[in-house]
Chains A and B, each alone.
Chain A
Amino acid sequence: MADGNGDAPGTDDTRLTTDALANAVTEELADWEGRELAAFTTRRPESKERYLSGSGLPVKRVYTPADLPEDWSDIGLPGRYPYTRGPYPTMYRGRTWTMRQIAGFGQAEETNERFRYLIAQGQTGLSVDFDMPTLMGLDSDDAMSLGEVGREGVAIDVLPDMEALFDGIDLENISVSMTINPSAWILLAMYVAVAERRGYDLNKLSGTIQNDILKEYVAQKEWIFPVRPSMRIVRDTIVHCSREMARYNPVNISGYHISEAGANAQQEIAFTMAITKAYVEDVVAAGVDVDSFAPRLSFFFVSQADLFEEVAKFRAVRRYYARMMRERFGAEDPQSMRLRFHAQTAAATLTKPQPMNNVIRTALQALSAVLGGAQSLHTNGLDEAYTIPSEQAMKTALRTQQILADETGVPHVIDPLGGSYYVENLTGELERGIDDYLEKIEALGGVVAAIEQGFFQREISDTAYEFARRKAAGDRPVIGVNKYVDETDSEKIETHQLDPASEARQIARLRRIRQDRDPRRAAAALDRLLAVAKDGDANLMPATIEAVKAHLSMGEITGALREVFGSYTETPVF
């Protein structure tokens, strides 16, 4: 579909408020403040001096048509530029969001069993959580992996682990999202190897690797190599997928971790857009046409506690992205301009005291994700503040989404808060806030320079500290923690227990596979990989696919490449 005229510059015909209406409203507001409001607050003052949104923006008592954006073209229609209302014309009327509960623990076989359980419960997409060694590109038998193997995700060392992970699951018909970053390209190589072995058409595979390395240095802190070579790997995966895997999302640019590390909603979307700009600039600089890869960029945001600000946040970032892609990068394909995102409710808001309250928190956060037009959603388990979720906790979390989809009527109308004086105003504020941050980052020399100067890290740690202080002062109520504390609380919940023998089994299997492989094929594959790594213009993907097929382990691959690329160490700021 053509882009249409949704972006026509404002004319008098498309203005949302006339000067006459704005003046009349402002006058009436002043009058009301002098009469009804003044009389009322004399008798009963408001509960606070000032009210702030979750990210600290002052919010007014009431909003009016005078607070609306100037022109209808800022709002527009769903599936049309600037995509404020959603990336698709039918949104949840066409297909409800993908219910994608992340899972992963122990060995591949154990996670495979959980996947099959979730599919049987009506889940419509898979999402894999990996253990820390896999996330950091280390093998299960590395000394640094002590205690972490299969702990908070599934352990993957070699291709046979990946084969076991997806055993019996039809990868042409279910999309798989993999939360993996510095080692993402190796997991992608394994995924391709599994698919090829099963004779799948690679262009039919739909799925995502997170692969958002810049936010690792900013927030999540999982890394292997320094920033520049890591950026090259991201570029290689984007370029490879644009050629070989038409439906695969090679990067999922993530604000979620930026938020969980302490950032507020404004910082989350601003930093995410700054990072997006850096990736797009990099790939464009490699001579790739923006419209050949931008349609496959996907995003991941948190759905935090401040309901309306979250909805406004999703709308603001969609609009900002559309404008950036078209105006700054000259994208012409509408698909390059529409931001699609996965949302996850905010784990850091969940509490250990009175854990059943977490079900309610998660339901409300899920509501804001749906009101904000998320394409897929993970709802957290109520036991998140204890350990990784039990089967029961995951089931309740999934049911929360199903109730939202089938019982509330919320999905029937697209962007139902569109036109709300408040939400539209906040959307505009947050969109402008992105621009302010991008200017600041530009002045520091861009994202990489800003990372090296600790800019993001300091911003995030300042906000986290401020939040902790406000929480301690009771200014940020957390029910069950600093308000309505129940000393007699004895809610007990059943938590997930890790099989203590899992780590030893995984290490034994890894060693057996190293023993049994063809050593000449493995050595040749490693040599080729190193040669490709040294050539900055070459693409790492084909050599990595051969390396995993030769049963080289993840730690062997990253270990060898550290010799070429070096390692990363952070200078912490607090």
Chain B
Amino acid sequence: MTAVQEETVAEPIRVMLAKIGLDGHDRGVKVVARTLRDAGMEVIYTGLHRRPEQVVEAAVQEDVDVLGISLLSGAHMPIFKRLFELLGELAEPHRFSIVAGGVMPDEDEAELRKMGVAGVLGQDSTPEAIVAEIRSLVRR
């Protein structure tokens, strides 16, 4: 077993984890939140039932490196579409990467990547893989 390594860089990676819409499945997102926090990252979790507008605004304000959106209700396609519309309307382009997590059919994963999602994590992603994925996106 390899323990998740402590973040050693001076500035910790900032991650916002969000639940958008009505989906109440929060087991996974909380495990991810804790895993990233234990790896030395700063984690902000929005809590449940946020609107896409609220999440985009919060991510910009908090100046995060990564925005993770967890969805297990099947509504990921319309919600990510709306999210990217909102990001496109920002005055300045956002600097954070976007990661999707949850239950998503394979064909949707491919579509999400085309939309601009940088990584897709599933229920079987290991804590190590999740941490590695987030670090690789930030590339410090």
Same complex for A and B? Answer yes
Give residues in A with beta carbon < 8 Å to B: 132-133, 135-136, 138, 143-148, 151-152, 220-222, 260-262, 348, 351-353, 385-388, 460-461, 464-465, 468-469, 471-474, 478, 481-482, 495, 498, 569-572, 574
Would you call B34 and A465 a contact (CB within 8 A)? yes
Would you call B30 and A222 a contact (CB within 8 A)? no
Given contacts A152-B74, A472-B126, A572-B48, contact A138 B30 (CB under 8 A): no
Would you call B79 and A146 a contact (CB within 8 A)? yes
Cβ-neighbour of B24 out of A220, A464, A469, A571 (below 8 A): A220
Cβ-neighbour of B127 out of A135, A151, A468 (below 8 A): A468
For A470, the closest partner residue in chain B by CB is: B1
Q: How far is the CA of A135 from the CA of B49 in the complex (A)?
A: 13
Q: How far is the CA of A136 from the CA of B127 in the complex (A)?
A: 32
- 20 A-B contacts (beta carbon < 8 Å): A132-B22, A135-B22, A144-B49, A146-B78, A147-B76, A148-B21, A148-B23, A148-B75, A152-B74, A221-B26, A261-B27, A348-B123, A352-B122, A385-B123, A464-B31, A472-B128, A473-B1, A570-B47, A572-B26, A574-B30
B98 at the interface (CB under 8 A from A): no
B5 at the interface (CB under 8 A from A): no
Cβ-neighbour of A571 out of B1, B47, B73, B123 (below 8 A): B47
Contact residues in A for B77 (Cβ distance below 8 Å): 147
B94 at the interface (CB under 8 A from A): no
Would you call B35 and A136 a contact (CB within 8 A)? no
CB distance from B94 to the nearest CB of A (A): 21
Count contacts on B: residues with CB < 8 A to the other chain. Answer: 35
Contact residues in A for B35 (Cβ distance below 8 Å): 465, 468
Would you call B23 and A132 a contact (CB within 8 A)? yes
Would you call A144 and B21 a contact (CB within 8 A)? yes
Contact residues in A for B73 (Cβ distance below 8 Å): 132, 148, 151-152
Contact residues in A for B25 (Cβ distance below 8 Å): 221
Cβ-neighbour of B45 out of A146, A152, A386, A574 (below 8 A): A574
Q: How far is the CA of A571 from the CA of B27 in the complex (A)?
A: 15
Interface string of B27-55 (1 = CB under 8 A from A): 10111011100000000010111010000
Q: How far is the CA of A495 from the CA of B26 in the complex (A)?
A: 24
Contact residues in A for B47 (Cβ distance below 8 Å): 569-572
Q: How far is the CA of A497 from the CA of B124 in the complex (A)?
A: 23
Q: How far is the CA of A571 from the CA of B105 in the complex (A)?
A: 31
Q: How far is the CA of A6 from the CA of B43 in the complex (A)?
A: 56
Would you call A469 and B127 a contact (CB within 8 A)? yes
Would you call B75 and A481 a contact (CB within 8 A)? no
Would you call B21 and A146 a contact (CB within 8 A)? yes
Would you call A260 and B27 a contact (CB within 8 A)? yes
Contact residues in B for A262 (Cβ distance below 8 Å): 27, 31
Would you call A352 and B123 a contact (CB within 8 A)? yes
Contact residues in B for A478 (Cβ distance below 8 Å): 124
Would you call B124 and A481 a contact (CB within 8 A)? yes
Cβ-neighbour of A144 out of B27, B51, B103 (below 8 A): B51
B95 at the interface (CB under 8 A from A): no
Cβ-neighbour of B103 out of A385, A473, A482 (below 8 A): A385
Q: How far is the CA of A538 from the CA of B75 in the complex (A)?
A: 39
Q: How far is the CA of A220 from the CA of B26 in the complex (A)?
A: 8
